[in-house]
Amino acid sequence: MSNISTRVAVTGANGFVGKNLRNFLYKNKINVLGVSRKNFRKHASEVKIISTNLLEPKLQTKLKNYDALVHLIGIGRQSPKSTFEEINLNLTKNVIKACKNAGIKKIIFISGLGVSKNNQSDYFVSKYRAEREIMNSGLDYTIFRASYIIGKTDYLTKALSKQMKKGIIVIPGSGKYRLQPIFVLDVAKIILEAVLEKKFSKKILDLAGPQKIRFEDFVKLFAKNTSVKIQKISLESAYDEAKRNPRSVYGLESLNILVGDYTSDGKQLKKLSNVKLTTVAEFLQSSRLS
């Protein structure tokens, strides 16, 4: 599937998905330009650019040699210094400008499972508006509405691991709401398909794993073979804690996403992608998360 002449730019290169994607592309001999706000360790064959707003002249010059851009910058929890509008929306607008200035014809964007014009959560609104900017840009695109992307250092894994160290994992509410997590290596493979194959052109696809699992069952699997206790608290208590404590395990939008029961039938992705998706048990075991 790989094409050694393909050149791919990746924003958010130092993030969880960005690192895993770059590792996968490197192994498949794809030429990569990594873009990040902070310095990061690059592969020998990579080009590295540090950028704050994605519009610097040095970045524009480098981008002219690339075929596609994978836009991975985004936040699921905002602060006064980093708002959803600033990061999820405005930086996407800047990416579109950068692509047009550099002559890049294809953009791949990671949105969120549950995004729609009717979802009024601040996070989902910012992602929906970013999607519309891309769709109306005149660029070719593939938009992936991603469920939880899981690996050794993803947000959910880190949150659960942090709680495990304290000997107890808290489940907000009933825990019966479902996740449909997808393994990060599967995501990297699918992104490369979207770069190389025309059948992904101008598509919005749910990016979700092969199985739906209740959150309480996911936590039990995650904590399997440990002495960690699992405690349920009321949703009201969880939301109160999120409002009161900016460093709470579950932030306001994190809770909205978690309890939203966002799942997909996965039919579109299965129809287009040749990637055999990894089950929850398989990726927890292979990543040594449990």
- Per residue in 15-29, pLDDT (tens digit) is 999 999 999 999 999
Q: What mean pLDDT value characterizes the chain?
A: 94
Q: What does the domain layout of the chain look like in residue ranges?
A: 7-151+181-209+264-277
CATH code for the part of the protein at 7-151+181-209+264-277? 3.40.50.720
38, 84, 103, 230, 246 from 49: Cα distances, Å: 9, 23, 18, 43, 31
pTM for this entry? 0.94
pLDDT of residue 290: 40
In sequence order, what are the beta bridge partners of 145?
111, 206
Per-residue pLDDT, 4: 57
pLDDT on residue 204: 98
User: Is pLDDT of 34 > 90?
Assistant: yes
Q: Render pLDDT for 176-235 as a digit per residue (tens, 0 to 9).
A: 999 999 999 999 999 999 999 999 999 999 999 999 999 999 999 999 889 999 999 999
Position 225 scores a pLDDT of 87
The separation between CA 100 and the C-alpha centre of its own chain, rounded to angstroms, equals: 24
Higher per-residue pLDDT: 287 or 102: 102
Q: What is the pLDDT of residue 123?
A: 94
